[in-house]
Structure 1
Amino acid sequence: MIDPCDKGQSKLKRVNRVELPSTSLKNPNPETSSKRLKKRSNKKSDKKPTGSDSDEELNKAYDQCVKEDSLLPILKQELRLKIQTRRLSEGQGELLPERAEPKVYELTVEEREKYQRRLLQNRDSLRRSRQKEIRHEEMLRQTFDTESSKEEHLKRQKLQLLTEKEDLMRRLKESGMDINENTSSFICNGCKQSIKYPP
């Protein structure tokens, strides 16, 4: 048994078997309880350890003691085992932890109305959000279409200007002017003066 005044100063040793409490728990015949303990330890059980397996719980409590540096988990297990032993010696069944059923909470009329209001608000908000996305997408599509048409217009205009330039250059060559395409200038044959033209 662990001394409660120890306060974690001595090292805890892993417990491999369950220590039954001393004979002071109203056990009328201490010899029979020790015989029962020997019989239990000699039996090799083939069943898997369950959640109420005290060895496993003591090992968990030991690990928790080491982790928290406190003797409280071992003391809780010892107290639980004492209560369990007393119940079994009095002929009562095992004390299993009761699992509380989840409480079903009925909504009041006001809460139901509030829930319905929120539901409608969420639906309206979702609808507005979708409409806004659709409008934004439509606006982007229109912008793309207008910019595409502008680009086509500018391409046609560029082509028209290039053909116009080629036509003018051809006319200048036909009139006898020497055209230098690299310097963007031409030389007038009559006055021999260099004239620059815009590119």
Structure 2
Amino acid sequence: MQKEYHKESNKQKIDEEETADDTLQKGLNLEEEGLTRAVQESEKQQSILPLVKQELSLKIRYKRLSEGKEEFVYEEPKQHHFELTEYEKQKIEERRRQNRQSAQRSRKRSEDYEEKLKQKINILSKENIKLSKEREQLRKTKEKLLLEFRKVGCFPSVRVCSCGIKLKASKKVSATETQSSSK
């Protein structure tokens, strides 16, 4: 009788081992898939964190299965959406309204500043054109006067530099000499 019991218990152990082998085989397939995902995620993130997570998961799973417990399935906690009170909704709406008004004021200031700059550019451009015309007119007047002096013959010995220093035609005179000689 003991032999029959022993045979039966061996048969039961073999069945349990085959079931455990099937479970282990399924687990290995899942492990391979999980490892593959972890490797891909690790490469994507340039971090070993996904691999560490997968390793911990497998260790926990192996320990639970070796103790005869069920496999642990992690579920993400549900995110709770809290309703805002009427006061909070009013505060948010008031803040949005203030932000819109502030943005409008800021845009208005920018537009005004841009308009002032455009006006200033127009004024300075017109003044620049006016001064250029005046300079050209003065240059022509200078040329006419020099031409007249040369015709008369009284100006050829003294030359006036553009900076206002008088120079004699025969030699160059420094600015200090010119100032001392003109006094």
Into which bin does the TM-score normalised by the smaller protein fall?
0.5 to 0.7
User: Number of aligned pairs?
Assistant: 138
Q: Structure 1 unaligned runs (5+)?
A: 1-28, 88-93, 188-199
Render the CA deviation track for 1:85-129: whole Å, top value 9, x for unaligned: 444xxxxxx653233332222111111011101111111121111
In the TM superposition, residue 74 of structure 1 has moved relative to its aligned partner by 6.2
TM-score (norm 2): 0.58
Give the structure 2 partner of residue 165 of structure 1: 142
Query: Hey, what does 1:117 align to over in structure 2?
Result: 94
Counterpart contact for 1:173–1:179, Cα < 8 Å = yes
What does residue 31 of structure 1 align with?
A: 14
SS state at 1:179 partner: coil
Show the counterpart of 1:77.
61
In the superposition, relative to structure 1, how do residues 180 and 162 fare at CA in structure 2: closer, same or farther (>3 Å)? farther
TM-score by structure 1 length? 0.54
Contact 1:58–1:77 (8 Å) recurs in 2:
no
Q: Give yes or no for the alignment of 1:147 onto 2:136.
A: no
Which of 86, 99, 102 aligns to 2:79? It is 102
Same amino acid, percent of matched pairs: 23
Q: What are the superposed Cα offsets for residues 60-92 of structure 1, whole Å, 9 maximum, x if unpaired?
A: 7xx88x969xx9766533343357x444xxxxx
Deviation at 1:33, TM superposition (A): 1.5
1:129 aligns with 2:113: no
| Structure 2 residue ranges without an equivalent (≥5) | 1-11, 39-47, 161-165, 169-183
Describe the shift of the 1:156–1:31 C-alpha distance in structure 2 as closer, same or farther (beyond 3 A). same
Letter in 1 for 2:124: E
- Report what 2:176 is aligned to: none
The structure with more helix, counted as a fraction of residues: 2
CA distance in 2: counterparts of 1:39 and 1:73, whole angstroms = 20
CA–CA distance in structure 2, aligned partners of residues 78 and 39 of structure 1: 15
Match of 1:138 among 115, 137, 155: 115
Distance 2:151 2:34 in 1: 110
